[in-house]
A = this chain, B = another copy of it.
Amino acid sequence: MEFQSMSKQELSELYKNLMAKYQNYQDQHLNLNMARGKPSTAQLDLSMEMLDLLNSKSNMKASSGEDCRNYGVADGLPEMRNLFADLLGMDDHNIIIGGNSSLNMMFDAISCCMTHGFQGCKPWSQQGHLKFLCPSPGYDRHFAITEYFGFELISIPMLSTGPDMDEVEKWVSSDPTVKGIWCVPKYSNPTGITYSDETVRRFAALKPAADDFHIFWDNAYCVHDLTDTPDHLLNLWLECRKLNSVDLPVFFASTSKITFPGAGVAAIAASEKNLEVFRKHFSYQTIGPDKLNQLRHIAFLKDVEHVKLHMKKHRAILQPKFEAVEAAFDRELSGKGIADWTHPNGGYFISLNVMEGCAKEVVSLCKRAGVILTNAGATFPYGKDPEDTNIRVAPSFPPIEELKTAADLLCLCVQIAACSKLLKSK
């Protein structure tokens, strides 16, 4: 029965029942975490063999001849560049390998544009008030980087096809102070949707008012499928090549959720012209990335086909968790008119929309019963969800039994918050 059709008395009765159940949860003194998209221990165990593949008996030479233990090879090992090129559908020479964090490379790319002019443009730090487009709900750490650098964050609605491209085109083509847009194009964080072909084509066809506008294309979940019917993302790079707009996008990827989040390998990819700017920046910043970790990863991951086989093992662990959360939502929340949620075919998140004005209360209720969720609002610029409705659910980290408990509690809290809100309005 829809909550909104209930009488005040029915709601009061329901609220009492729900609170009794909530009390039961509180008595259990839970300590669970569905806050961040962290792989579970079982997933981390999948890559342990990698640590044995580089040992004191191994060949330390890159195929290009350099001793990987020493300084040098700033762009990364040829095999590593080739692997990322294949993952991203680009060419080897468009790839620069970094350290263990693609977020770090995004930060450095923004920082580079702040202090140094991009392709003859003034440094962003000397251009006055600037804006960055933030499809929302989106990835909090993306938004945080541009907030830290003083950008005004412009919220762009996320649709089931990706960012609202009418809005994106309007901003990008008319406002030269708009310098970029954050995108997680496949299994988007947190909605789990993949940008439609039309969305990708419209990105490639953007005509920015600013000469130094870039699409920050964070392909974090490029091989992170969870079903037999995975999403397909149109290759932005190829679309840009068709339209001679190859300088628009900058691509990012990493093995953080393929091997180890704390000790993976990251990459940036872009046109020759864009890479020239970043390569110069990096040449002052470092004598080169950790090539032994690259050797280790090449020995373990080999090529795209092996990566895909490896990702099936991740899927075997992750899929039941996503299904458990969705099953709880279906069972406890459907037909009540108080929530909707996404059904991603991959990635790390389910996006839950609760009754308007209730997200903070739901997160707070969960916390008081020992389950940590991502802060309500975190998926919006400045951490402020204008409708206080979105909650990012990260099913990956807890063991499945704990996850089921956490999901049940979450469903209970969604109902309590809705019930409480409706009661107040009666």
Contacts and interface: CB of A to CB of B under 8 A. Distances in A.
A44 interface: yes
A225 B73 CA distance: 28
B71 A38 contact: yes
Interface residues of A, number: 56
A293 B289 CA distance: 13
A4 interface: no
Nearest to A101: B286
Interface stretch (A143-151, A157-165, A198-206): A143-151
B56 A54 contact: no
A67 interface: yes
Copies of the chain in the assembly:
2
A425 interface: no
Interface string A272-295: 000000000000111111111100
A135 to B, nearest CB: 19
Interface string A32-61: 000010110100100111011011101010
The A contact surface, by secondary structure, is loop
Contact of A291 (B125, B149, B263): B263
A261 interface: yes
A262 B70 contact: yes
Contacts of A36: 71
A70 B261 contact: yes
A224 to B, nearest CB: 16
Contacts of A290: 99-100, 262-263, 290, 293
A292 B262 contact: yes
A107 interface: yes
A285 B98 CA distance: 13
A28 interface: no
A44 B56 contact: no
Nearest to A100: B290
A320 interface: no
A7 interface: no
A262 B115 contact: no
Nearest to A144: B284
B148 A284 contact: yes
Nearest to A72: B262
Interface string A223-262: 0000000000000000000000000000000001000111
9 contacts: A39-B70, A69-B260, A71-B262, A103-B287, A104-B285, A107-B285, A111-B115, A263-B291, A263-B292
